[in-house]
């Protein structure tokens, strides 16, 4: 019933993510997104209440996708060797979802989840952060039991190191396959030394 939309919600957000990856959140204007997606500005407001909501949706869509992969990988990290393998979700995600990786990696969360974003969106961001914190605590307890710096070291190893490694290549290029071995070696060393 009713006229069919000429673009799906997912495709609209994907187009917006591409704009955000290319131009950054500041230049991700309604006009720019509407042009990139090939829909009039009014159609965007038909689906989303505001620009702040659009920016939040871009970031949350990317973050939820990445976090689903990351938490699944971390759950399997029962040894330092397995953790080194799990850390490779980050370069793999960057290769599979370049624009979303740039959104997550090259900008601060606060530039997408702004003070003006509707509460619903802010709540999703809070939930994501809490889930990640919990997963990191569990992983740290398994990998480095008894180490008072366990959480900190696990975060540096499983998140910081792979993030920094892919950032050398983003946003212009895609991280080459070969760095995976470098990342794995670095993660092992950071957890084991």
Partner DNA sequence: AGTATATTAGAGGATATATTCTAATTAATC
Partner DNA sequence: GATTAATTAGAATATATCCTCTAATATACT
Among 11, 45, 85, 122, which residue sits at the site for DNA (rule: CB under 7 A)?
A: 45
Query: Closest approach of Cβ 123 to DNA, in Å?
Result: 19
Nearest to DNA of 39, 128 (CB atom): 39
Candidate ranges 1-9, 64-72, 98-106, 152-160; the one touching DNA (CB under 7 A): 1-9
Residue linked to tokens 């599979």: 96
Among 23, 40, 127, 176, which residue sits at the site for DNA (rule: CB under 7 A)?
A: 40
First to last CA, the chain: 63
Query: Closest approach of Cβ 133 to DNA, in Å?
Result: 31
- Residue 120 burial (C-beta neighbours within 10 Å; 0-12, 13-18, 19+): exposed
Nearest to its own copies of 47, 107 (CB atom): 107
Residue 29 found at the interface with DNA (CB under 7 A): yes
Alpha-carbon span 26 to 109, nearest angstrom: 13
Residue 63 found at the interface with its own copies (CB under 8 A): no
∠105-108-112 over CA atoms, to 5°?
A: 105
Alpha-carbon span 76 to 85, nearest angstrom: 9
Among 23, 41, 96, 118, which residue sits at the site for DNA (rule: CB under 7 A)?
A: 41
CA 78 to chain centre: 24
Residues in 136-165 that interact with its own copies by CB under 8 A: 149, 152-153, 155-157, 159-165
Which residue, 69, 44, 74, is CA-closest to 135?
74
Alpha-carbon span 161 to 113, nearest angstrom: 24
Among 31, 115, 145, 178, which residue sits at the site for DNA (rule: CB under 7 A)?
A: 31
Binding site for DNA (CB under 7 A): 1-7, 27, 29-31, 39-43, 45-47, 49-52, 116
């Amino acid at each position: 019933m009713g006229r069919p939309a000429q673009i799906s919600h997912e495709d609209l957000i994907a187009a917006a993510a591409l704009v955000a990856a290319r131009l950054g959140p500041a230049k991700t204007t309604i006009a720019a997104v509407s042009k990139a997606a090939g829909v009039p500005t009014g159609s965007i407001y038909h689906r989303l209440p505001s620009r702040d909501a659009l920016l939040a949706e871009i970031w949350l869509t990317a973050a939820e996708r990445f976090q689903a992969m990351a938490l699944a990988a971390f759950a399997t990290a029962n040894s330092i060797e397995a953790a080194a393998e799990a850390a490779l979700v980050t370069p793999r995600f960057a290769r599979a979802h370049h624009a979303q990786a740039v959104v997550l990696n090259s900008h601060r969360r606060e530039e997408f989840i702004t003070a003006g974003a509707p509460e619903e969106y802010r709540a999703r961001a809070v939930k994501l952060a809490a889930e990640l914190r919990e997963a990191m605590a569990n992983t740290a307890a398994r990998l480095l039991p008894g180490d008072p710096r366990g959480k900190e070291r696990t975060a540096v190893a499983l998140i910081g190191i792979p993030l920094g490694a892919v950032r050398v290549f983003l946003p212009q290029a895609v991280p080459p396959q070969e760095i995976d071995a470098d990342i794995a070696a670095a993660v092992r060393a950071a957890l084991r030394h």
